[in-house]
Amino acid sequence: MMRLGAFVHETGQHVAAWRHPQAHFHSGASLADAVEVAQTAERGKFDFLFLADTAAVSLSGTPESRGRMGKVVKFEPMTILSALAAVTRHLGLVATSTTTFNEPYTLARQFASLDQISGGRSGWNLVTSNNEDDALNYSLDQHPAHADRYERAIEFAEVVTGLWDSWDEDAFIRDKESGVFFDPSKLHPLHHKGKHFQVRGPLNVGRSPQGRPVLVQAGASGTGRDVAARLAELVFTAQTTFDQGKEFYGDVMGRLPRYGRSPSEVLVMPGLYPVVAPTASEAREKYDYLQSLIHPSVGLAVLEHTIGVHDLDKLPLDGPVPEMPDTNGPLSRQRLLLDQARRDKLTLWELCLANAGPRGHVLTIGTPSQVADEMEHWFKDGACDGFNVMPAWLPGSLTDFVDLVIPELQRRGLFRTEYESMTLRGNLGLPRPISRFHADRFAGAAQ
């Protein structure tokens, strides 16, 4: 069964989404708009709603480009997802949260709480922050190095998952007559001491209804792939072509045995930027219309942010894309887009246009049948387990996908018609994790 997430930004994926005449006017600042998006995704039987996040407003580019940006305000993810938990019943709730500018105990507590509030529907998208502006809001003068961020992330995740195992599922007795509230033998302090963190534990939130929140990871560099194979249950990735997607899928699955894991424990879900309409010509018109709303200064500024470079406005728009040094920010995305520019012989402005919507993810434009064909090809031919669908603008592009593409996928038997479970893990078909403290006991018994 194909898995689907709705990956949403405040106004939509496209850089000019906010300018669409029917786009949400107060996106990023309206609970009502967020509720509409979540309930539309649940109506379409999506596995989860996935919120992107950064902790900074970019001051790069020119004053003109900054004033034209539509993605500068947003709700803090855990806050808005807690609100959305109350107005949805089955939809998973995945929040992006960085290991670079957080502490493990705080993050573990937040996601465990969201899981309790939602009845087992939370997921943590682990990122190391590829936005260099974030560091400036956390008492740093510059962004930590790529390798250092990943080293910290691995230890961070080990601490978080250990804290999520603080309580056995049957630890709480709550016997009013005897006065016993919980069984002390089923409480497990962590006593972690590592290079980056010292955390005693235990967590003061009970065990997750789904065992643990689902751990999502986004990263496609060599280090990112290793982290995915080691830790992730769901891998979010950017791939432009089917061949790239298949290579990535095979590579990540091939790394799993190093960490004692099997393919049944991991889902790979690349981003998909669909533009769909009843006819192919209408779909192309929709795509071209949004492209026409891109102001040159915005297109350049967003490309700079996506590939982690500066001063692109000093280059001719109709000239070739030059070689660029590796960024300390979004390294895998930089390489992906520069490879696309070389492969397709794009000018700088053509790369800006290509980046404006998909930003390195799969682009498909056409009828419901054509979009479903592309998705089926990737799914059946070994490039993915599903997709993170990235609506161009909200709410219209998500509504189009739910009303046009979902029925076609269901007709082909590729996607559910009803939810299978009340938990995110259950709907994704992921195994329920065994507490590390129980696993240690089993290992000791086996020896």
Instruction: Go through the domains of the chain in sequence order and give each one's CATH number.
Output: 3-292+359-446 (3.20.20.30)
- 97 exposure class (CB count in 10 Å sphere: 0-12, 13-18, 19+): buried
Mean pLDDT of the region 289-316: 88
Residue 75 makes CB contacts below 8 A (sequence gap 6+) with: 28, 29, 34
Residue count of the chain: 447
Based on its alpha-carbon atoms, the radius of gyration of the chain, rounded to whole angstroms, reads: 22
Question: How high does pLDDT run on average in the chain?
Answer: 94
pLDDT at 445 over 50: no
**Burial state string for 367-378 with b = 16 or more CB within 10 A and e = fewer than 16:** bbebbbebbeeb
What's the pTM value of the predicted model, to 2 decimals? 0.94
Contact between residue 208 and residue 163 where contact means Cβ atoms under 8 Å apart = no
Contact between residue 19 and residue 434 where contact means Cβ atoms under 8 Å apart = no
Q: 62 is written with which tokens? A: 């020119």
Q: Which residues pair with 175 in a beta bridge?
A: 180
pLDDT value of position 133: 87
3-state SS class at 352: helix
- Secondary element (H or E) of residue 3: strand 3-8
81-106 pLDDT tens trace: 999 999 999 999 999 999 999 999 99
112-151 pLDDT tens trace: 999 999 999 999 999 998 788 899 999 999 989 989 999 9
- Running DSSP on this structure, what letter comes out for residue 403? I
Mean pLDDT of the region 208-212: 97
Is the pLDDT higher at 309 or at 83? 83
pLDDT at 414 over 80: yes
Confidence bin at 213 (pLDDT 50/70/90): very high
